[in-house]
Amino acid sequence: MSNELIDFVIVSIALLGIGIYGLSVKRNAIRMLFAVEIIINAANLNLVAFARFIPHSGGQTLALFSIAIAAAEVAVGLSLIIVAYRMYQNIDIADFRSLKG
């Protein structure tokens, strides 16, 4: 195969950087969830790339677990955002000041 391991790792680093930029700059709760998704996908890309170049099935198994756990995390995160939106009528995280129910 013509692509080398380093190419995939560099794409994954670029995605990680974009995700950290989104997490640190945006205050919109849904956009922060987008950034978290991008970071998780960068990690999965790394797992599968290393699993391909050290031919072993463990990396792909771990990537499958990671995708499934990320799905659960998104479901809970979105419902938390909906609850907070109902409480504050806003999705700006600077407005989410009190934990009182």
Partner 1 sequence: MVDAAFLALSVITIGSAIAALELRSMIYGSMALMGTLGGIAGFFLLLDSPFIAMFQIAVYVGSIAVLILFTVMLVKRELIFKKIEDPRRKFAGIGLMLILMMGLGSIIIDSGLRTIQTNEPAVDFRDIGEDFLTYYWPALILMALILAGAVTGALVLARREDVEDEQRAN
- Within residues 38-57, the interface with partner 1 by CB under 8 A covers 38, 41, 44-45, 48-49, 51-53, 55-57
Q: How far is the CB of 22 from partner 1 (least distance, A)?
A: 4
Determine the size of the site formed for partner 1 (CB under 8 A).
72
Residue closest to 84 by CA, chosen among 68, 65, 99: 99
- Classify 76 as helix, strand or coil: helix
- Classify 54 as helix, strand or coil: coil
Out of 36, 88, 91, 96, the residue judged to bind partner 1 by CB under 8 A:
91
Out of 31, 36, 88, 96, the residue judged to bind partner 1 by CB under 8 A:
31
CA dist 97 and 10 (Å) reads 38
Q: How far is the CB of 96 from partner 1 (least distance, A)?
A: 12
- Within residues 59-78, the interface with partner 1 by CB under 8 A covers 60-61, 63-65, 67-76, 78
Comparing CB distances to partner 1, the nearer of 8 and 98 is: 8
